[in-house]
A and B are shown apart, each in its own frame.
Chain A
Amino acid sequence: DQQVKQNSPSLSVQEGRISILNCDYTNSMFDYFLWYKKYPAEGPTFLISISSIKDKNEDGRFTVFLNKSAKHLSLHIVPSQPGDSAVYFCAALNTGNQFYFGTGTSLTVIP
């Protein structure tokens, strides 16, 4: 049973516009969330995180929003750049050190 879901397998956005990637989770015990970025033939790399005690975390062009009541988080990229084209995974942490991953969203930023 998938505890972390990314319902959009792909997303295309024009360069300079906002990209919004969504993630839903089912386990209310998750208390830490991350977004990873993955290029082809490479391992995922950490992008941004948020703790459950916050509802927003910003790092440059990247902002993650957390809505605990809806069990939903989103990643906003503004402005989107062609180099942002990659697969994005959200991940959630329960007790211990094990993260649960979503299925990924492939973002294409069109120049």
Chain B
Amino acid sequence: NAGVTQTPKFQVLKTGQSMTLQCAQDMNHNSMYWYRQDPGMGLRLIYYSASEGTTDKGEVPNGYNVSRLNKREFSLRLESAAPSQTSVYFCASMGAGPFGGYTFGSGTRLTVV
């Protein structure tokens, strides 16, 4: 089915470890986003990419890096994981214009111990 695919679905890291969250969309969307969801905080934007080759910081970028590998793929990297990065991470994409908003992936539940 067309949509946004995130891997992995679950991950447990030790403090200081690194990992990359993968995201791919097959809807030919230009814009892609990474959000984190925490209890009582809603969805907060980490990084976004308005088009292939560009990336910009969102509300909570510290501790993260991103790569827009091509139009389909947008990865999120944690270089040195911290317990404060325990969260559910969502990737999203959006086509031209805001109509219909984002299409979200199913999320990655990350626990840093």
A91 within 8 Å of B by Cβ? yes
- Give the residue name and chain of the B residue nearest to A90 (CB): B42
Q: How many A-B residue pairs have CB under 8 A?
A: 60
* Candidates A32, A43, A49, A104; contact of B106 at CB < 8 Å: A43
Chain A contact residue count (CB 8 A cutoff): 25
Does the CB pair B107–A43 fall under 8 Å?
A: yes
Are A97 and B42 neighbours in the complex by a CB distance under 8 Å? no
B residues at A contact (CB < 8 Å): 4, 31, 33, 35, 40-45, 48, 50, 58, 90, 92, 94, 98-107
- Does B107 lie within 8 Å of A103, measured CB to CB? no
B48 contacts A98, CB within 8 Å?
yes
The distance in angstroms between the C-alpha atoms of A9 and B41, with both chains bound, is 11
Q: What is the interface of chain A, defined by CB distance below 8 A to chain B?
A: 2, 4, 6, 9, 32, 34, 36, 41-46, 49, 89, 91, 93, 96-99, 101-104
Task: Kindly provide the distance from the CB of B94 to the nearest chain A CB, expressed in whole angstroms.
Answer: 6
Contacts of B98 on A, CB cut-off 8 Å?
32, 34, 49, 93, 97, 99
Q: Which residue of B lies closest to A9 (CB)?
A: B40
User: Out of A9, A49, A101, which one reaches B43, CB within 8 Å?
Assistant: A101
Q: Which of B31, B43, B102 contacts A46 (CB under 8 A)?
A: B102
In contact, B43 and A97 (Cβ under 8 angstroms): no
The 8 closest A-B pairs by CB, nearest first: A43-B104, A103-B42, A101-B43, A34-B101, A101-B42, A97-B31, A43-B106, A32-B98
CB distance from B53 to the nearest CB of A (A): 16
Q: Is the CB of B101 within 8 A of A36?
A: yes
A89 to B33, CA, bound (A): 17
